[in-house]
Amino acid sequence: MTTELKGKRRFLDWVKSGRMIEVRDPQDNSIIAEVPAADPEDMLKCIEDAKAGAKMAASMPVHERMKIINAAADYIEKNSEKFAYTIAREGSKTIREAAKETARCIQTLRISAEEARRIHGETIPFDQSPGSENRVGYYYRFPIGVIGAITPFNDPLNLVAHKVGPALAAGNAIIVKPATVTPLSALLLAEAFEHAGLPPKVLNVITGHGHEIGDVLVTHPDVRMITFTGGLKAGEAISRKAGLKKITMELGSNSPVIVLEDADLEEAVESTVSGAFWAAGQNCLGVQRIYIQESIFQEFQNRFLERTNQYCVGDKQSELTDMGPLINEREAIRVENLVNEAIDKGAALLTGGERNGAFYSPTVLADVPEDCTISKEEIFGPVVLLYSVNNLDTAITLSNSVNYGLQAGIFTNNVNKAYNAIAKMEVGGIMINDSSDYRIDAMPFGGVKNSGLGREGIKFMIQEMTEPKVVCFKLSSC
């Protein structure tokens, strides 16, 4: 059965290339929909529309922005089963994971509406400078105009909302280029804003292949900001091409978690298993490396393997399923090759390591040599590496040994050790007694090193999507 595109045609009808992209369910490779494959001329038209939309958005009063964003959240809440089904159908998430993403999207939009009222400036004491005693003024923040958003497949609804919500709250127009393999959730979000009364051309969703239309979006001088979530190589290419415009990027990680001997092992195991295999491991915050203090290593490993082997892999639409397939068979083969490389170099396969089409079983490795790709780069699959360490300092050193730094976790009941890790771990966020895979949509989110530029999180993205303007009055002498 194919997915109907009724209600979303306004965002697609103007694409004139005539070519289509098949959207397939990775579980069985069945075609669920077709969307237009835009060409460079289509993207240029989209940018012209967005320029007109930016003028409308900037003139929209804050209360109207808030009303529309909240109405879109209401629409999603009313149709949450439809949204969750679409997420699970076109992507890798199980229906339970998709329902949680839908709930988070609603929260993301609600926070965006609230933050729209908090785009504040400040007064400036100009008389701090000699000769400026007769000057008063302030600064305020104004929208930057047209924003280009390039979004990934692994959170096809909420990661789009994380760009759309702040952009609209700040009074910008936005062009969303969703992942080619998961465009339907982004189109559903656009449908929600259409029902909410958002004027045409303020939110623009364009479907197509990145290598055909991406450069037009990234390099166009009227697109004043690019916000990208995806892989490191693509991010580096965008940064080279974009020129003088704002850029925010979230480029993934190789997230470490430290488990010390005083930790609550049951909590640590449950949290790290979930963190490793959520969304089939296709998660920028996913637990990839676990450093366990040697005195508890064997017990932790035994419990971790027991819990991993209880994971139910299968039909995404079943409430009983814990993990579905990767986004396609090509990605599953890539993960399989990374695991096989590690095993060939001496890593121990403790469980998993089996592929069936796009499905790859939850996999645990130990004794992985440092020169393996899987120990240095992001896996983006259901694979986790266990290491025994003698103390916290060693664990921190090893955690920092890769060129990523998005988030980390540490399990300990010793506040001094927790603060030691906080001070020394090179990451954008550290979770105490939780895995790296924890995030709320209001917090600043981003990393250091190759994990990206700037911060997401609604309040913080609004700062990125606005500019300060200084106003100074020179007063006549009384």
Q: Active site includes 48?
A: no
pLDDT tens digits, residue range 385-405? Answer: 999 999 999 999 999 999 999
* Element spanning 257, H or E: strand 255-259
Please state, in angstroms and rounded to a whole number, the distance separating the CA atoms of residues 317 and 365: 29
Please state, in angstroms and rounded to a whole number, the distance separating the CA atoms of residues 173 and 54: 4
| CB atoms near residue 355 (< 10 Å) | 18
Mean pLDDT score of the chain, rounded to an integer?
Answer: 95
* Chain mean position to CA 132: 46
Q: Active site includes 22?
A: no
Please state, in angstroms and rounded to a whole number, the distance separating the CA atoms of residues 251 and 210: 16
Place 6 in a pLDDT band, splitting at 50, 70 and 90. very low
For 294-300, the CB contacts below 8 A with 24+ separation are 294/388, 294/389, 294/390, 295/261, 296/259, 296/261, 296/263, 296/265, 297/386, 297/388, 299/265, 300/259, 300/265, 300/268, 300/269, 300/386
478, burial (CB in 10 Å: exposed 0-12, middle 13-18, buried 19+): exposed
- DSSP state at residue 328: S
pLDDT tens digits, residue range 421-456? Answer: 999 999 999 999 999 999 999 999 999 999 999 999
Catalytic entry in 250, 331, 336, 464: 250
Is residue 1 scored above 60 in pLDDT? no
Catalytic entry in 46, 90, 97, 284: 284
* Ordered domains of the chain (ranges, CATH): 9-251+452-470 (3.40.605.10), 255-440 (3.40.309.10)
Please state, in angstroms and rounded to a whole number, the distance separating the CA atoms of residues 353 and 362: 7
Say how many Å lie between the first and final Cα of the chain, rounded. Answer: 78
The pLDDT score that the predictor gives to residue 11 is 55
Place 14 in a pLDDT band, splitting at 50, 70 and 90. low
pTM for the structure as a whole: 0.94
